[in-house]
Structure 1
Amino acid sequence: MLKLPPISLYIHIPWCIKKCGYCDFYSYVSKKSIPEIKYIQHLLKDLEKDLKLINKRKISNIFIGGGTPSLLHHESIKYLIKGIKKRTKIYQSSEITIESNPKLKEYKRFRKYKKSGINRFSLGIQTFNSNLLKKIERTYDKKEAIKAIKEIKKINNNFNIDIMYGLPGQSLNNVLSDLKYTVQHNPTHISWYQFTIEPNTSFYKKKLDLPDENILFNMFNKGEKFLKKSGYIKYEISSYMKLNYQCRHNMNYWNFGDYIGIGCGAHGKITKKNGDIIRTTKNKNINSFINGKYLDTKKIILEKDKPFEYFMNTFRLYQPIYKKHFQERTNMNIRDIKSKINKALQKKYIIENEKYWETTKNGKMFLNSLIKIFLN
């Protein structure tokens, strides 16, 4: 009998004060007031439809992302969480995360968010350098960023800081200074990743003073050594934690677990009892969404594409990938991927024993090449 994976819930709040030039996430800059309650009512209706697909499984964790979820009033967050709990069962130990911006108007809400059920905050700082913040079109400065962290620390131990390297005009000293400031505030989790520019962003057409590959490599090496020395454990390509403080929602993604995705532009993955894995995407048009048109696409992952989908996630993690886990999550036999595994072994991207595979240092360095082996 197929063992269904754990299932979490992702909620997309699409509004932002301003669209940053490097951001390619779906977001909507509203010049009018946000129809918070109306949107949440439709989020809950969207959830009701997806709950029919999950075979009464309990929700393990909740992640409220965006956009900028911290633009919502605490009454709206309370209404949302209360509405979810009315419609489905959630584990008592669930981690409920909200992404937040370090703006005064927003961080003053954190205490009331906590009372509404939020127990983990993720702060999008990006850099503590006010000049660099202006360059990447963020709407706050260093002082506000530090105040926001202090506000969170008063009410909640468990929080993440997002920080980037490779920003336009950024030096190695800037990078190390950012990490020192980050570690100084003792977050339980740090997301530290390279600044990249996607084709569908406004920065893509601009000539930006980006560090070259050698400088980026140096930033990465020095930064990673500093985080390790500071007591942070790297457990995923761009994620560092204090012991036992992995982001549970993201761990579920990377372990090829299931998740319901509700809200404009949200993605979901749901495994059915018969072994079919369904991918869903939700309507990106805000007006259509609040008129009841939630689903954009719903498709079954083809059998030949399952290994790529599985390893695209699991190879990101710094842990063994158990063969039994692959079989449980894909409903496939190891024989089906033997030739591709052999190719990855020949390239020395992975090692193998009777029970598991594990990526080598070389495999992590050339992760895209490793994953492409499993692309059909």
Structure 2
Amino acid sequence: MSDNTLTPLGAPARPWRDPRRYLWLLSPFFAFSAAWHLLNFQRTGEVFWLWLLPGIMYGVIPLVDALLGPDDRNPPEASVATLEADNYYRAIVVAFIPFQFAATALGCAVAASAPLTPAGWIGLILTVGGINGVAINTAHELGHKRPRWERWLSRVTLAPVAYGHFYTEHNRGHHLRVATPQDPASARMGESFWRFLPRTMWGGLRSAWHIEAGRMAQRGLPAWHWRNEVLQSWSMTVLLYGALAVAFGAKVLLFLAVQAFYGASLLEVVNYIEHYGLLRARRADGRHEPCDVTHSWNSSHVLSNLFLYQLQRHSDHHAHPGRRYQALRHFAQSPQLPSGYSAMLLAAYVPPLWFRLMDPRVAAHYGGDLTRANLHPSRREALIERYRPRARP
């Protein structure tokens, strides 16, 4: 967004105001709507209510993003300090969490008592797992911040989706290794999402445990110690699932496991999108160059950014991880996605469509020299040859 509006000569400049200030409420409202849909299903028994939230995620948001297009305006730098200090934006992030937990509990109540058809079960899993998957983005926003209470809430938010190790791996693993072959959360060009999913899930878990075991060793403590933050995070899930099993019966544990897997897969398909094919070059000393705004795919599509705390302005996030969502910037030099995440994840589920959309964009980003890209080893030579610049006759 451009600097302060011009005013008549001699008149004081108006302070900049965020034009989306109240639109950011869409994110906690999304979590509220999940709980409300589940309550309406309990009241009416209509399966429609279990499919409404997935319909919004996979249908309405991509359509509105396509209609509105991207908005690449940035807040003026003179206003960023005030914008980041405004606790209103922090309260919006925190407001998501109670509705997320309410939706999880209501989902268990439905799973335990309502007679569900196969379509009903799928809708229930997509609704509860969907909102817990989106909640990982809430945890992501909180987990990067300095106040201890925000980082603690980040791990609480990950409990329903049973993905507490993400807090450790993302902050102390992914951000160090992003856009390198060593990062399990950075997808390689030519690698389908379905190949990426088991690699990133297992690789992220293993990396988180290795990071935390190393931290324990530096303190002279064994890995299996109560101070281990991975174990603390997993314990939160055990306590939550145990309480829900006591409240609704042990049969909800299978439902919780399935919705958690789906929710975690939403995180991982976003990881797949965010760095696909991008690679940080090696310097003369053998280390990778510092991460900058060219090492993440960027999108400034309006509606999906409002729901996701501008996660899609991912280039700025990786270059400046502590910057709060309301101040994240669009950079023209960042590689740009053709749409927001809601549409791109649908493409990622269909590898031929994904490769057709994204492989030419990776090649264009590197000027046709795919030796500079992060390539799937089994397809490396074929991709280099396919996109090699040809001499004009």
Q: Under a length normalisation based on structure 1, what TM-score does the superposition of the two structures give?
A: 0.28
More strand by share: 1
- The structure that has the greater radius of gyration is 2
